[in-house]
Amino acid sequence: MTRDRDWGLRIALFVLAAGAVLSARATAVAGDPLLQRLDAMLLPPGTPGHPLGTDHLGRDMLSRLLHGGRSSYLVALGSAAIAGVLGTAVGTVAGLIRSRWMDRALQILNDGVLAFPTVLLAVTVALIFGPGRLQVMWTLGIVYTPVVYRVARLETRRTVVQDYYHVSHTLGTRPLSRAALHLFPNVIPQVLVQLASLAALAIGTEAALSFLGLGTQPPAPSWGIMLNDARRYMTQAPFLSVFPGLAAGLLTFALQFSSDRLAGRLQHDG
Amino acid sequence: MGSMRIARALTIVMCSVTIAPLAASGAAEPADAAAPEELIFGLSGSPDTLDPHATTGTLTFQTMRSVYDTLVEPDREGEIVPALATGWESREDGLVWEFELRHGVAFHDGTEFTASDVEASLNRLRDEEFASPSIHEYAMIESIETPAEDRVVITLSEPHAPFLSTLASGWSAILPEGLIESGHDFGSEPVGTGPFRFVRWIRDSELVLERNDDYWQDDRPYLERVEFVTITEQSVMAQALQAGQVDVADLVVEPELSTLREAPNVQIYEGTSALVMVLAMNTQREPLDDLRVRQGINAAIDKQAIMDNAYAGGVEVATFMDVANPYYRDFTDLYDYDRAWAAEIAEETDFDGDLVIAVPQNYAPHVRAGELYHEMLRQAGFPVRLQLVEWSTWLSDVYGDSQFDLTVIGHTGKLDPHGRLARYGTEDTYVQWIDKTAAEAIEKARRETDPDVRSEFYEIALRRMAEDLPFVFVGTPYRYVGLDQRIEGFHMDSQLDTFDLREVRFRQ
């Protein structure tokens, strides 16, 4: 373990945590995101009572921004969790199994999922099950599974040829404890690095799909929807598009940055 | 490194964006010396076909109005006046209609226009195999005779007052007999007698027409060429108009409207539309089958706020007729906007889950209206949820199959009130509102030729609709078209929602 204090990583993690807490407590912090005030539309940031101003229907932008964060966190964390669990499970099994045939079959399935364009799949899912953020979360979870699968399989393969793993095998350690002791400590950090970067992708994709009307459904706020609404008021109220864009950028950056730093540490440690 | 490259790429993109309009307006400068003779017409959608017999799409009629003529047409006041027919007469209580046809009119392919073209066109519209979506409007035609080259006699099986209005509508376009018989593809290559002839059509992109030098109105049209370009994005359309890249923006709404009003090179054509904006209710679904619940929902909606904030202004209505229509009756004092009372109704109603408001997502004003309805109903205590649906899904599931609780839409009018009211009061409409009194009045009005008596029947039907609320009737929006400052002579047939370009020209 390196002993230096990585301030960059700390700040990134703080941003992620602060965003999560603020979004979770959005109503307490900033009030009702749906409340319309038709006498107070397009107020600029800094207006008393509306620190970030109001949108085209007189709704508080701060409240919408924080509530919109819920969609982003839900989809990012949810899809990462789905991909993490599925990918790790299938990947380690594929890494342990000796059957060449089975490995090949999984590989083909994997390539199939990877080859399918994400947005096209999301559109198809929205057509069949109706649009919504849970659908987006599941779609992304499944799309990201092959990425995690590859990492998990590779890391498993790498581990099982190590001497200590062989020794442990010869000593007769039970398969499950062997996995817990020697395999997962190698696989899971690598998977986490991947997941952080996938979660960053998910935030952008959720915003894009909501922008297109395929993700979170109005009037519930989402950064994508807010950007879509703001687009029409670019000349009168440019600030409307600044905050959701900034929030999505910041969150994506923090996740990607954490992922990079964690990967760097693993390399040093390895 | 990576971010530097991105930053440079961004600069390049931004520069080209800011330069483009400048370059365009700069280039337009020299052409101003002489008044231009080409009109670039921005359309917010693309026609599905160019065959006016084969569609109900307004965009087809809006563009084909300049390629085809009809026997009769509405004038600027909405009166029906001669077009391809120079005169007409109805006999035997409206059962027999005789038309005298105009001489010396030629189709764009050079063939002469005669009575057999009228016969062939109407037969095509009645043809079960061709299955025109407007076929029911011609169902009462019993026979068509052509005693002379310039004479057509149409016999109806029953009196049908809307008949002349049907003949004046875009879907009654007259096509050449020869090409109909040879199975010509009118859907992609229209041939008519209209003021402009077809040049080319690139689907979803552009439709080019050029002047018909042999048009039957002397010295019309003024323009040499009309080019319809499809621009679906409202903000892009507004910018194109301001930059002089288009001369007409077919539909302008807020927030672009306020910007364009300020623009020095733009004038705004204002008309009343024939639309009635509604929040439709499925009257067969619980709890919406209960009149009190519908009244509660109606009372929760601030109609003027919807018109002002979603549809760029308009006039409130309380029944199923647009304000400017001669058959319109004012029932706005029947029910009031009363949120407290609406809350009481919401309180005492049993809801089995949320009421879902289906909103067609392709049209931003409806989406905005949907968000406003949602909040007004939520504030009154109704459990509501919004659902965006794709336009084709809306047409098939909501309009075609009544799969909805509440839905946001605007109803267009037709020249005759029957076009709007047909089948209401029977189970054959998407709101499934059944009312004997209204259905009977609408049917009687259809068979009645005396306008005053018709008006009385329609008043009965409209009153029933206003009382029984199959819809929350909201209002008739204003219609705004953005025009280049130099354009004059622009006109819209408000009941048909089509553009008349014959008188259009650029001021010197």
How many other C-beta atoms are found inside a 10 Å radius of the C-beta of residue B182?
8
Q: Do A218 and B388 touch (CB under 8 A)?
A: yes
Which residues, other chains included, contact A249 with Cβ-Cβ below 8 Å and sequence gap of 6+? none
Residues of A in contact with B375 (CB under 8 A): 34-36, 57, 219
Q: How large is the C-alpha radius of gyration of chain A? A: 22
Mean pLDDT (chain A, rounded): 91
Distance in angstroms (rounded) separating the CA atoms of residues A18 and B53: 62
B76-94 burial, b if ≥16 CB within 10 A, otherwise e?
A: eebebebbbbeebebeeeb
Distance in angstroms (rounded) separating the CA atoms of residues B165 and A245: 53
B252 with B478: CB under 8 angstroms? no
Residue A178 has pLDDT above 90, yes or no: no
Which residues, other chains included, contact B88 with Cβ-Cβ below 8 Å and sequence gap of 6+? B71, B72, B82, B97, B98, B99, B100, B164
Question: Which helix (H) or strand (E) element contains residue B206?
Answer: strand B206-211
Beta B276-281 vs B406-411: how paired, if at all? antiparallel
Residue A199 carries which side chain, given as an amino acid letter?
A
Specify the long-range contacts of residues B132-140, CB closer than 8 Å, at least 24 apart: B132/B53, B132/B54, B132/B171, B133/B54, B133/B55, B133/B56, B134/B53, B134/B56, B134/B166, B134/B171, B137/B162, B137/B166, B137/B171, B138/B166
Distance in angstroms (rounded) separating the CA atoms of residues B289 and B228: 45
Distance in angstroms (rounded) separating the CA atoms of residues A187 and A150: 11
B322 with B402: CB under 8 angstroms? no
Residue of B256, B374, B388 with shortest CB distance to A131: B388
Residue of A34, A130, A236 with shortest CB distance to B375: A34
Tell me the residues of B at the A interface, defined by beta carbons under 8 Å apart.
234-235, 255-256, 258-259, 305, 309, 361, 364, 367-368, 370-372, 374-375, 378, 386-388
DSSP assigned state of B175? -
B268 with B495: CB under 8 angstroms? no
Report cis status (omega within 30 of 0) of the bond before A175: no
Residue of B259, B305, B387 with shortest CB distance to A38: B305
pTM above 0.90, yes or no: no
Structure tokens at B59: 């965009």
Distance in angstroms (rounded) separating the CA atoms of residues B467 and B319: 9
Q: Does A256 touch chain B (CB under 8 A)?
A: no
Which residues, other chains included, contact A263 with Cβ-Cβ below 8 Å and sequence gap of 6+? A193
Residue indicated by tokens 């819920």? A70
**What residue ranges of chain B have pLDDT lower than 70?**
1-34
pLDDT, position B508: 77
Q: Which of B388, B390, B404 to mutate to test the interface with A (most CBs of A within 10 A)?
A: B388
Residues of B in contact with A131 (CB under 8 A): 388
Q: Which of A38, A234, A260 to mutate to test the interface with B (most CBs of B within 10 A)?
A: A38
Q: Do B378 and A34 touch (CB under 8 A)?
A: yes
A176 or B311, which is more confident: B311
Three-class SS state of A36: coil
Q: Do A217 and B387 touch (CB under 8 A)?
A: yes
Distance in angstroms (rounded) separating the CA atoms of residues B274 and B411: 8
Q: Do B255 and A233 touch (CB under 8 A)?
A: yes
B118-153 burial, b if ≥16 CB within 10 A, otherwise e?
A: bbbbbebbbeeeeebebeebbebbeebebeeebbbb
Residues of B in contact with A234 (CB under 8 A): 235
Distance in angstroms (rounded) separating the CA atoms of residues B456 and B460: 7
B206-227 burial, b if ≥16 CB within 10 A, otherwise e?
A: bbbbbbbeebbeeebbbbeebb
Q: What share of chain A is helix, strand, coil (3-state, %, to 5)?
A: 75, 0, 25
Q: Provide φ and ψ at B80, rounded to 5°.
A: -90, 125
Count of alpha carbons within 13 angstroms of residue B351, beta-carbon side: 15
Chain A residues 135-164 within an 8 A CB cutoff of chain B? none
Q: Does A238 touch chain B (CB under 8 A)?
A: no
Q: Does A56 touch chain B (CB under 8 A)?
A: yes
Q: Count Cβ–Cβ pairs < 8 Å, chain A vs chain B.
A: 46
Q: Which of B258, B362, B371 to mutate to test the interface with A (most CBs of A within 10 A)?
A: B371
Q: How large is the C-alpha radius of gyration of chain B? A: 25
- The whole-angstrom distance between B235's CA and the closest CA on chain A is 6
pLDDT, position A200: 96
How many other C-beta atoms are found inside a 10 Å radius of the C-beta of residue A133?
22
How confident is the model over A91-108, as a mean pLDDT? Answer: 89
pLDDT, position A266: 83
- The whole-angstrom distance between B377's CA and the closest CA on chain A is 12
pLDDT, position B274: 87
pLDDT, position B23: 36
How confident is the model over A147-168, as a mean pLDDT? Answer: 90
B44 with B237: CB under 8 angstroms? yes
Q: Do A235 and B259 touch (CB under 8 A)?
A: yes
pLDDT, position B3: 40
Q: Does A218 touch chain B (CB under 8 A)?
A: yes
DSSP assigned state of A43? P
- The whole-angstrom distance between A217's CA and the closest CA on chain B is 7
Distance in angstroms (rounded) separating the CA atoms of residues B124 and B135: 9
Question: pLDDT, tens digit, for every residue of A8-42?
Answer: 999 999 999 999 999 999 999 999 999 999 999 99
pLDDT, position A269: 66
pLDDT, position B16: 35
Residues of B in contact with A233 (CB under 8 A): 255
Q: Do A213 and B361 touch (CB under 8 A)?
A: yes
B45 or A72, which is more confident: A72
Three-class SS state of B183: coil
Q: Do A218 and B386 touch (CB under 8 A)?
A: yes
Residue of B234, B235, B375 with shortest CB distance to A36: B375
The residue of chain B with its CA nearest to that of A211 is B361
Residues of B in contact with A218 (CB under 8 A): 367, 370-371, 386, 388
The residue of chain B with its CA nearest to that of A215 is B388
Residue of B258, B309, B388 with shortest CB distance to A217: B388
Nearest C-alpha neighbor of A21 from the set A70, A79, A83: A70
Residue A4 has pLDDT above 70, yes or no: no
CA B260 to chain centre: 23
Query: What's B354-392 look like in SS3?
Result: CEEEEEECCCHHHHHHHHHHHHHHHHHCCCEEEEEECHH
Q: Do A232 and B374 touch (CB under 8 A)?
A: no
Distance in angstroms (rounded) separating the CA atoms of residues A106 and B69: 65
Residue B255 carries which side chain, given as an amino acid letter?
P
Q: Does A217 touch chain B (CB under 8 A)?
A: yes
Residues of A in contact with B361 (CB under 8 A): 213
Nearest C-alpha neighbor of B189 from the set B296, B107, B84: B107
- The whole-angstrom distance between B239's CA and the closest CA on chain A is 11
The residue of chain B with its CA nearest to that of A225 is B367
B472 with B376: CB under 8 angstroms? no
Structure tokens at B97: 């209609």
- The whole-angstrom distance between B268's CA and the closest CA on chain A is 19
Structure tokens at B112: 């002469």
Q: Does A57 touch chain B (CB under 8 A)?
A: yes
A80 with A211: CB under 8 angstroms? no
Residue of B256, B364, B372 with shortest CB distance to A36: B372
pLDDT, position B319: 95
Distance in angstroms (rounded) separating the CA atoms of residues B223 and B196: 9
Q: Provide φ and ψ at B382, rounded to 5°.
A: -80, 135
pLDDT, position B332: 94
Residue A178 carries which side chain, given as an amino acid letter?
R
Residues of B in contact with A232 (CB under 8 A): 234-235, 255-256, 364
